[in-house]
Amino acid sequence: MSEAFFILSILLLAAASGLSILSLHGDSDRFHAHARRSFYLAGAFFLASGAVRYYPFALRDFVRIASTIWGHFYILALLLFLILAYIDLFRWSAHWRAVAAVALPFITVVCALFLPFLGSDRVMEVGLANHLLPFHVIFSFMGQLFFFFSFTGSLLGIFLENRLRRRSSLRSIQNFPSLEAIDAFIGWSLKRAAAFLAVGIVSGVALVWINYGRVFLFSFKETVIYVSLFFIALLLYLRRDGRLGMMKLNAMNAALFGAVLAMYIASNVILSSGFHSFR
């Protein structure tokens, strides 16, 4: 049942992605309404797939779930769903249409990539008996996901600025937020990314200290988090400095997130057999 719900969720996400791209490009409010509906329905099926698999759930089960390859992914995707829903329901609701057109295809690809691991019983050997682990995982994920949303904003900004510079018709950018709104969204995402990653790193350091008496284990995962925080801090500094124009800042944001994504894939998938931490 959990598998069926998950596959349904992916199908709906794919539909929502297509519709949200059409709604942005095709100037139709109907596509936008259908995209939202499909996204929330996909979210409901995604929650149902987790509920069926993990019921009854208690907080102490978190480490067990997070240490399975499927559970690890489930938490990541769940947070993605929640942040995108938050963007829609709260401050950025007017710009969800544009953000979703970039974010939804990404979420769909992430979910589809995990299809082969649906029934997998591979488990990460955590060995960290500490209550800080759930906080560390969630805060680090949140930090990376907000970094991802700043990346989506940058892609939108690059596209919009490019269209404005080419002096093309309003039709292709009719449903885009203004450049200033996109810039504000990027700033909002980066600040949250920095805050969550900082808390994630502090809890991670405490965790490693308690268990190993050290502050750094020289693992790829730790390196990726530190590099991410450095990149985000650099972007925030350059934004504040104001010497670089919006276009350059957006290009840099996109490139740095791309680098972090490449490092994540390299450290988790390529350097050993797929998701080597899970045995």
Partner 1 sequence: MGDAADIREVFLAGISHKTAPVELRERFSFDADRARLFMERAAARGIEEIVYVSTCNRVEVYAAAADARRAVAALTEILGDFSGVPSSESEGAVYRKYSREAVKHLLSVASSLDSMVVGENEILGQLRECFRAAVREKKTGPVLNKLFHQAFRTAKRVRTETGIARNPLSIAFIAVEMARKIFEDLAKRRALLVGAGEMGELILRYLTKHCIGEMVIANRSLGNAERIAREIRPDARIIPLEDAASAAREADIIVTSVSARDFVFTAPAAREIMKRRGAKPLFIIDIAVPRNIDPAVAELAGIFLYNIDDLKTIAEENHKSRMGEVEMASRLVEADSLEFMEWYEGLAAVPAINRIQIQFEEIRRRELDRYRKKRLKHLSDEDFGIVADLTNQIMTKTLHNPITHLKKIAGSSRGHRGGRSIEDAVRIIMEMFEK
DSSP output for 181-237: HHHHHHHHHHHHHHHHHHHHHHHHHHHHHHHHS-S----HHHHHHHHHHHHHHHHHH
For 16, 22, 43, 45, the CA distances from 29, given in Å and listed in that order, are: 14, 10, 21, 25
Place of tokens 């989506």: 152
CB of 238 to partner 1, least distance (A): 9
Residue placing its CB nearer to partner 1 in the complex, 91 or 214:
91
Alpha-carbon gap, residue 36 to 220, rounded angstroms: 37
Contact between residue 186 and residue 157 where contact means Cβ atoms under 8 Å apart: yes
Min CB(71)–partner 1 separation in Å: 41
Smallest separation (angstroms) from partner 1 to the CB of 187: 11
- Of 21 and 207, the one with the shorter C-beta distance to partner 1 is 21
Contact 101, 26 (CB under 8 A): no
Of the pair 42, 173, the CB lying nearest partner 1 is at: 173
Catalog residues that contact partner 1 under the rule CB under 8 A: 27-30, 160, 164-165, 167-171, 173-174, 176-181, 183-184, 239, 241-249
Minimum distance of partner 1 from residue 27's CB (angstroms):
5
Nearer to partner 1, 184 or 199 (CB): 184
Q: How far is the CB of 69 from partner 1 (least distance, A)?
A: 42
Residue type, 178: S
Minimum Å distance from CB 234 to partner 1? 15
Q: Output 7 or 179, the one with its CB closest to partner 1.
A: 179
Residue 192 Cα distances to 6, 99, 134, 143, 146, angstroms: 29, 17, 19, 7, 6
Closer residue to partner 1, CB minimum distance, 49 or 189: 189
